[in-house]
């Protein structure tokens, strides 16, 4: 029987990568600050074990990092690309969108790009507009990319292992404020891509969320304001492919769907989920995301963009109050 161990979200990902690198010499990692264990400690100990040929500390040039990784993948390696935060990945969009995502299709499957691009998302306290973005919808829009958003230490372990084994380019979105989150992690436990996780069951409504939204949603359901309300809570875990069956089955039961995400609500991935579910089941839908504003540096401005239990509670009541 596999034993579980308490560890942080960052340690869980580090363990997954360590196991993959020990098992497969083709797995390498490259990016800025890897030589010192990563900005968040998510590579701690790996430079000492695997050396600079497999844990590659790069210059500050995201386009070059991603371009090199695409070339490595086409040549037979399985690179893990560290973008530090998703905001910096914008400098490498051509390599991601026009090279990594399209290669398998454009060359009839002769080339594969089995890379994992780690792009931490979300608000990073007091880090302002250029370090606090959630851009999941950009990447779910692009054919050829897998998009993953782990919410717990166990999922950060299991989903990273699954991403490394997938054989396609994976946009792997850890949340900047979850690195210190602790939880039980069972080494070797697989978490399949495309399979959601149900966290709570109820008949009043379905709440679909991911990443940091998972913990905030569970906090909201514990508020006195939501006493007596029972919700199905679904953590998608993978945004592409997303688990349509799990969502449709739930909303067929509850008849109401609330999609919760930290990303800007306008054109967010929640709109895709809401529209698809309404089209398939006829359920009532509501979305909760950030206003279409840059994340401010000042705490009072940052709070306007933050997802909170109170905002979720308000959205739940608004959905339940809608007439048939």
CA angle 238, 240, 244 (to 5 degrees): 80
User: Using omega within 30 degrees of 0 as the cis cutoff, is the peptide bond preceding 241 cis?
Assistant: yes
Residues 131, 175, 203, 261: which is the catalytic one?
131
CA dihedral sign of residues 162, 54, 50, 82: negative
Query: Please, which residues have CB within 8 angstroms of residue 200's CB and are 6 or more apart in sequence?
Result: 218, 221, 230, 231, 232, 233
Query: Please, which residues have CB within 8 angstroms of residue 38's CB and are 6 or more apart in sequence?
Result: 10, 44, 82
Residue-by-residue pLDDT tens, the chain, 324 positions: 567 899 999 999 999 999 999 999 999 999 999 999 998 999 999 999 999 999 999 999 999 999 999 999 999 999 999 999 999 999 999 999 999 999 999 999 898 999 999 999 999 898 999 999 999 999 999 999 999 999 999 999 999 999 999 999 999 999 999 999 999 999 999 899 999 999 999 999 999 999 999 999 999 999 999 999 999 999 999 999 999 999 999 999 999 999 999 999 999 999 999 999 999 999 999 999 999 999 999 999 999 999 999 999 999 999 999 865
- Tell the burial category of 285 from Cβ atoms under 10 Å away from its Cβ (0-12, 13-18, 19+): buried
Residues 280, 248: contact at Cβ < 8 Å?
Answer: yes
Residues 163, 193: contact at Cβ < 8 Å?
Answer: yes
pLDDT at position 76: 96
Task: Give the max Cα distance, the chain.
Answer: 62
The reported pTM is 0.95
Residues 102, 144: contact at Cβ < 8 Å?
Answer: yes
Domains and CATH numbers, the chain: 4-186 (3.40.50.970), 197-321 (3.40.50.920)
* Residue 141 annotated in active site: no
Neighbours of 89 (CB within 10 A): 28
pLDDT at position 190: 85
CA 238, CA 210: separation in Å to the nearest integer? 8
Residue 323 structure tokens: 């007439």
């Amino acid at each position: 029987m596999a034993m579980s161990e308490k560890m942080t979200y960052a340690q869980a990902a580090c363990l997954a990568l360590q196991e993959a690198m020990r098992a497969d010499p083709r797995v390498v990692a490259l990016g800025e600050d890897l030589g010192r264990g990563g900005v968040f400690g998510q590579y701690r100990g790996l430079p000492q074990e695997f050396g600079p040929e497999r844990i590659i500390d790069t210059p500050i040039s995201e386009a070059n990092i991603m371009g090199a990784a695409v070339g490595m993948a086409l040549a037979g390696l399985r690179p893990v690309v560290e973008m530090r935060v998703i905001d910096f990945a914008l400098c490498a969009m051509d390599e991601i969108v026009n090279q990594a995502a399209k290669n398998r299709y454009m060359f009839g499957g002769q080339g594969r790009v089995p890379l994992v691009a780690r792009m931490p998302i979300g608000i990073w306290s007091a880090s302002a507009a250029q370090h606090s973005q959630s851009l999941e919808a950009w990447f779910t829009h692009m054919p050829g990319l897998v998009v993953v958003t782990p919410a717990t230490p166990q999922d950060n372990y299991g989903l990273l292992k699954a991403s490394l084994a997938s054989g396609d380019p994976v946009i792997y979105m850890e949340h900047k404020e979850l690195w210190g989150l602790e939880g039980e992690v069972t080494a070797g436990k697989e978490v399949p891509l495309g399979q959601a996780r149900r966290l709570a069951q109820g008949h009043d409504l379905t709440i679909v969320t991911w990443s940091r939204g998972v913990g905030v949603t569970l906090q909201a359901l514990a508020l006195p304001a939501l006493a007596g309300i029972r919700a199905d809570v679904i953590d998608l875990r993978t945004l592409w492919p997303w688990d349509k069956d799990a969502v449709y089955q739930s909303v067929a039961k509850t008849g109401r769907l609330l999609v919760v995400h930290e990303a800007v609500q306008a054109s967010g991935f929640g709109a895709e989920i809401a529209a698809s579910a309404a089209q398939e089941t006829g359920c009532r839908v509501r979305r909760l995301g950030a206003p279409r504003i840059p994340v401010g540096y000042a705490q009072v401005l940052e709070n306007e963009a933050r997802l909170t239990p109170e905002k979720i509670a308000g959205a739940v009541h608004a959905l339940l109050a809608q007439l048939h």
